Amino acid sequence: MQPSVIETIGNTPLIRLRRASEETGCEIYGKAEFMNPGQSVKDRAGLFIVRDAEKKGLLRPGGVIVEGTAGNTGIGLTLVAKALGYRTVIVIPETQSQEKKDALRILGAELIEVPAVPYKNPNNYVKLSGRLAEQLAASDPNGAIWANQFDNVANRNGHVETTAEEIWAQTGGKVDGFVSAVGTGGTLAGVGEGLRRHNASVKIALADPLGAALYSYYTTGELKSEGSSITEGIGQGRITANLDGFEPDFAFQVPDSEALPIIFDLIQEEGLCLGGSTGINIAGAKRLAREMGPGHTIVTILCDYGNRYQSKLFNPAFLREKDLPVPAWMERAPDVAV
Ligand code: PMP
């Protein structure tokens, strides 16, 4: 029996990705982070950020946790907060999927939707959430903290201590490569650091969507971006504190046109319904497999469940509007009448 929802975070299964493995001659596995109670990899960050604040004496019963998030961190933080007796105030760009906003409202987060503007703009959702946390810390009798997932290394440390250790144990130490996209960088740098502590020769690779600047940074030293992606929760334009000091062995840039067919095939052929960032991750894992050659074991992250993107990724009208290919099966045949 689990004492609370918090103890169900982590210890997720590792799933063999059949097609990616067959196509590359490597063993490619996905860490099933969509099986966390909030259905994403960000439950871990939520838990470790809250526990770290408690340890530092920053959170009092009834206190407020404020965060700027594309959605999943807000969901993770809110379910942890509910279980421990805190409130959450979540600042989210209005461009994020309706499903994530609905999930946050149902969980009881106090939601503030703001226009999506770049990080350098003072009204960017991350900066707004930081200022709001300061105001609430001064005015709320129970106090408030800013979770600050991008620059709070409790996020990365959670992956060093849990995700990396689980992957090492689940593969019996036979992991040759790890690939991840970056939102905050907590997953990539944390799992990378944790695996390298066990074996310094494990290859760690970044899979970057178009519109992000890290591929350019790690290949040329310059933060530059072009293009765009419909994936959510990933695509970073700066070196966050979670990425600071971390160096990947490989960096790949993956267009949506390569990532989305992987997501569509996974549903039809492997029964896995996952979000867009997972497509970038698996495309990256296949590229790393090709760099390393057959016979290697490569792990990536299955970041979140696909139902979070019904209105976008699995909506033919949305895909057509973005000039992305619509799989034939999605142009749905009529239901069978009985
Ligand atoms: N995929 C999704 C769907 C996410 O929400 C996030 C986190 N924003 C990531 C991947 C990236 O994780 P991290 O923040 O650890 O880089």
Q: What is the pLDDT of residues 309-324, one digit of tens each?
A: 999 999 999 999 999 9
Ligand 1 midpoint to CA 338 (Å)? 43
- Could you read off the pLDDT of 95-107 as tens digits, one per residue? 988 999 999 999 9
Query: Which of 72, 160, 179 for mutating ligand 1's site (highest number of atoms within 8 Å of CB)?
Result: 72
Pocket of ligand 1 (CB under 6 A): 40-42, 70, 72, 181-188, 232-234, 275, 277, 303-304
Would you say 151 and 242 are in contact if contact means Cβ atoms under 8 Å apart?
A: yes
Query: Which of 36, 40, 42 for mutating ligand 1's site (highest number of atoms within 8 Å of CB)?
Result: 42
pTM above 0.90, yes or no: yes
Q: What is the dihedral of CA 173, 178, 183, 189, to 10 degrees?
A: 60
Give the Å distances, CA to CA, from 115 to 112, 212, 271, 298: 10, 19, 35, 38
Radius of gyration of the chain (CA): 19
Q: Tell me whether 0.90 is exceeded by the ipTM.
A: yes
Q: Note the pLDDT of residue 70.
A: 83
Q: What share of the chain is helix, strand, coil (3-state, %, to 5)?
A: 45, 15, 40
Ligand 1 midpoint to CA 78 (Å)? 16
DSSP-derived 3-state class of residue 313: coil
Count of CB atoms situated within 10 Å of the CB of 244: 12
Catalytic residue among 31, 42, 286, 312: 42
Q: Note the pLDDT of residue 334.
A: 65
* Ligand 1 atom, smallest distance to 231 CA: 3
DSSP state for residue 160 in the 8-state scheme: I
Q: Note the pLDDT of residue 331.
A: 83
Sheet hosting strand 144-146, strand order edge to edge: 110-114, 87-93, 64-68, 144-146
Q: Collect all residues with Cβ–Cβ distance below 8 Å to 53 and sequence separation of at least 6.
A: 59, 65, 145, 147, 154
* Ligand 1 atom, smallest distance to 45 CA: 15
Query: Which of 31, 33, 36, 41 for mutating ligand 1's site (highest number of atoms within 8 Å of CB)?
Result: 41
* Ligand 1 atom, smallest distance to 232 CA: 3
Ligand 1 midpoint to CA 279 (Å)? 12
In the chain, the amino acid numbered 65 is I
Verify whether residue 42 is a known catalytic residue: yes
Q: Note the pLDDT of residue 186.
A: 98
φ and ψ of 14, to 5 deg:
-105, 125
Q: Note the pLDDT of residue 337.
A: 76
Would you say 235 and 211 are in contact if contact means Cβ atoms under 8 Å apart?
A: yes
Residue of minimum CA distance from atom 5 in ligand 1:
233
CA-based end-to-end distance of the chain: 42
Could you give the angle at the alpha carbon of 41 between the alpha carbons of 40 and 44, nearest 5°? 115
DSSP-derived 3-state class of residue 74: helix
* Ligand 1 atom, smallest distance to 308 CA: 3
Could you give the angle at the alpha carbon of 201 between the alpha carbons of 237 and 175, nearest 5°? 90
Q: Note the pLDDT of residue 338.
A: 73
Q: Return d(Cα 166, Cα 195) in angstroms, integer.
A: 10
Please list the ranges in the chain whose pLDDT falls under 50: none
DSSP-derived 3-state class of residue 30: strand
Place of tokens 């997501």: 263
φ and ψ of 253, to 5 deg:
-110, 125
Ligand 1 midpoint to CA 41 (Å)? 7
Would you say 312 and 49 are in contact if contact means Cβ atoms under 8 Å apart?
A: no
Q: Collect all residues with Cβ–Cβ distance below 8 Å to 142 and sequence separation of at least 6.
A: 60, 61, 62, 63, 64
Angle between helices 42-55 and 72-84 (to 10 degrees): 50
Q: Note the pLDDT of residue 77.
A: 98
Ligand 1 midpoint to CA 185 (Å)? 8
Ligand 1 midpoint to CA 150 (Å)? 10
Give the Å distances, CA to CA, from 119 to 19, 209, 238, 302: 38, 17, 9, 27
